[in-house]
């Protein structure tokens, strides 16, 4: 098989896989049926395909992305039956609450919305008990992925993704360990303030209490659900982007019972068929999810049709995540809020500053943990380590139950961390080039669209250098967090 035929089939496979994931995660069907798709394209990931592709005479950058695609696809193929079983179990699971069964996927929103701490803790305990039933197929899938990671000449799963995705896991881990240490006092003093307001001692705090803090229902009045889409349209229009005139981007906001509570963007066809999927549950977090996924949608929906498959679908995932954060954090900009929402933002800024600090510490901890997980012969052996590490760094008991459900494939946690860092630098560039209200400047919109046209051809490190930065610098993120918290 030559490169042209392979690329044609690779795109067909990717479109089919994304379409299947869309209908399953959006609640349009109760099962995730991956087997028929992989069975139609067995030649894409067969044992010698990686070695054969390594010899293709194509652009080295494209080739690097394709090798990642082949290795990742092989690992996913080896574990897909486990993924299917876990997805089927998740959609069928219910949690009994207030004498009625609640779909498993709806429970996190119910937990965050529960004001009574005793009830909240009880509901979380039921949720974690249900979650443990998913760990058997997920553990089997983890073992298969580990074996797959050694098929391409790498020592383990960690080494495979470190090389193929260029994350520099060792360097990023060192950066995040230092960040966690440097922000210890700031984080815990802020956490204690919020826990005190809830009449909860830190030693009694659980992960669900953090969810309640970030749910912040007292801000709901400023973020009405019926204004979510109009405000997104308005924000894009200020940049010269008319969402209503983009037939390739469809917003799916229907509240289906089986719909995933976690917003996502389904890139079924780049750039021709993009689905922005959200499940409204109320408040500021809904707005953040919508704007975040809109960043993905606009990015993928603007990629040039003539770009090769490797740049339209593959490449550094930190790039698209940085665009998503750029739009999400419009909601944290004083000038944007003043123009678009009538609210007293002082307390709100403190909340989102704490939330951003929490997320950086959480994903830094996940990065440390996942390297241990993917190097462990028995994944269950690190469940306690997961609980200890997350609880220690985040100041609330996490529990060992989510040691596998809290893991994204291919070290996507590293992609998020790199995206957070680059987003802060990208925003600095936009402020410098287009002033404090860059988000109302159609010239800034045109600049973004030109960036988006190239898909994920370049890494975030390359884009940072293009914008005048020597390297990714987490210090810029720290400055933003301290400003939001009033700790400058």
**In terms of pLDDT, which residue wins out, 420 or 34?**
420
Instruction: Quote the mean pLDDT of the chain.
Output: 94
For residue 218, what is the domain's CATH number? 1.10.1370.30
pLDDT tens by residue, 61-80: 999 999 999 999 999 889 98
pLDDT tens by residue, 334-381: 899 988 887 768 889 999 999 999 999 999 999 999 999 999 999 999
Calculate mean pLDDT across residues 187-197: 97
Compute the chain's Rg from CA coordinates.
Answer: 22
Question: In which band, very low, low, confident or very high, does the pLDDT at 1 lie, cut at 50, 70 and 90?
Answer: confident
What are the backbone dihedrals phi and psi of residue 264, each rounded to the nearest 5 degrees, phi first? -155, 165
Q: Is pLDDT above 80 for 488?
A: no
Calculate mean pLDDT across residues 30-36: 87
**Tell me, what's the pLDDT at 346?**
80
Calculate mean pLDDT across residues 452-480: 96
Tell me if 387 sits within 8 A of 397, measured CB to CB: yes
Tokens for 90? 């998740």
Calculate mean pLDDT across residues 231-248: 95
Could you give the percent of the chain with pLDDT greater than 70?
99
pLDDT tens by residue, 389-427: 999 999 999 999 999 999 999 999 999 999 999 999 999
**Tell me, what's the pLDDT at 154?**
86
| Site of tokens 């004498």 | 99
Q: What is the pTM of this model?
A: 0.94
| Euclidean distance between CA atoms 191 and 189, whole angstroms | 6
Question: In which band, very low, low, confident or very high, does the pLDDT at 317 lie, cut at 50, 70 and 90?
Answer: very high
pLDDT tens by residue, 80-119: 899 889 989 998 999 999 999 999 988 998 999 999 999 9
Residue 340's domain comprises 3-484
* CA 310 to chain centroid: 21
**Tell me, what's the pLDDT at 67?**
94
Choose among 221, 157, 229, 175: nearest CA to 411.
Answer: 157
Calculate mean pLDDT across residues 302-320: 95
Question: If DSSP codes are grouped into helix, strand and coil, which group holds residue 376?
Answer: coil
The number of folded domains in the chain is 1
203 burial via Cβ count (<10 Å: 0-12, 13-18, 19+): exposed
What are the backbone dihedrals phi and psi of residue 266, each rounded to the nearest 5 degrees, phi first? -95, 115
Tell me if 94 sits within 8 A of 103, measured CB to CB: yes
**Tell me, what's the pLDDT at 344?**
66
**Tell me, what's the pLDDT at 278?**
83
Query: Which residues, other chains included, contact 96 with Cβ-Cβ below 8 Å and sequence gap of 6+?
Result: 102, 126
Q: Is pLDDT above 80 for 19?
A: yes
Question: If DSSP codes are grouped into helix, strand and coil, which group holds residue 39?
Answer: helix
Ranking 44-48, 415-419, 447-451 by mean pLDDT, the lowest is: 44-48
To 10 degrees, what angle do helices 383-394 and 346-373 make? 150
Q: Is pLDDT above 80 for 304?
A: yes
């Amino acid at each position: 098989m030559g490169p042209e035929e392979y690329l044609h089939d690779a795109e067909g496979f990717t479109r089919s896989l994304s379409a299947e994931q869309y209908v399953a995660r959006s609640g349009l069907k109760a099962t995730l049926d991956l087997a028929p798709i992989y069975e139609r394209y067995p030649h894409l990931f067969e044992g010698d395909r990686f070695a054969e592709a390594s010899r293709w005479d194509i652009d080295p950058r494209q080739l690097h992305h394709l090798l990642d695609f082949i290795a990742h696809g092989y690992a996913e193929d080896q574990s897909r039956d486990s993924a299917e079983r876990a997805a089927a179990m998740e959609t069928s699971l219910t949690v009994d609450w207030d004498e009625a069964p609640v779909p498993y996927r709806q429970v996190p929103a119910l937990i965050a919305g529960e004001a009574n701490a005793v009830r909240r803790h009880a509901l979380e305990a039921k949720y974690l008990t249900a979650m443990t039933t998913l760990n058997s197929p997920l553990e089997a899938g983890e073992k298969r992925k580990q074996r797959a990671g050694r098929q391409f000449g790498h020592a383990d799963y960690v080494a495979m993704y470190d090389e193929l995705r260029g994350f520099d896991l060792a360097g990023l881990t060192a950066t995040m360990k230092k960040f966690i240490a440097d922000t210890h006092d700031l984080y815990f003093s802020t956490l204690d303030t919020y826990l005190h307001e809830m009449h909860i001692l830190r030693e009694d705090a659980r992960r669900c209490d953090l969810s309640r803090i970030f749910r912040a229902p007292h801000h709901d009045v400023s973020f009405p659900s019926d204004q979510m889409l109009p405000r997104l349209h308005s924000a894009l229009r200020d940049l010269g982007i008319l969402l209503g005139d983009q037939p390739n981007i469809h917003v799916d906001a229907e509240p289906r019972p089986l719909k995933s509570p976690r917003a996502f963007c389904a890139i079924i066809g780049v750039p021709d068929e993009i689905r922005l999927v959200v499940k409204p549950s109320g408040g500021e977090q809904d707005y953040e999810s919508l704007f975040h996924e809109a960043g993905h949608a606009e990015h993928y929906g603007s990629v040039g049709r003539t770009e090769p498959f490797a740049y339209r679908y593959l490449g550094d995932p930190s790039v698209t995540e940085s665009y998503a954060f750029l739009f999400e954090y419009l909601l944290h900009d004083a000038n944007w809020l003043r123009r678009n929402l009538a609210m007293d933002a002082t307390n709100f800024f403190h909340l989102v500053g704490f939330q951003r600090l929490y997320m950086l510490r959480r994903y830094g901890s996940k990065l440390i943990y996942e390297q241990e997980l993917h190097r462990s012969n028995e994944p269950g052996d690190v469940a306690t380590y997961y609980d200890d590490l997350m609880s220690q760094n985040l100041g609330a008991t996490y529990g060992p139950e989510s040691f596998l459900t809290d893991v994204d494939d291919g070290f996507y946690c590293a992609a998020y961390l790199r995206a957070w860092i680059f987003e802060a630098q990208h925003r600095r560039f936009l402020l410098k080039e287009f002033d404090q209200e860059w988000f109302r400047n159609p010239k800034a919109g045109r600049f973004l669209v030109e960036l988006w046209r190239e898909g994920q051809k370049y890494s975030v490190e390359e884009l940072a250098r293009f914008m005048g930065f020597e390297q990714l610098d987490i210090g810029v993120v720290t400055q933003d967090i301290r400003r939001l918290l009033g700790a400058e």
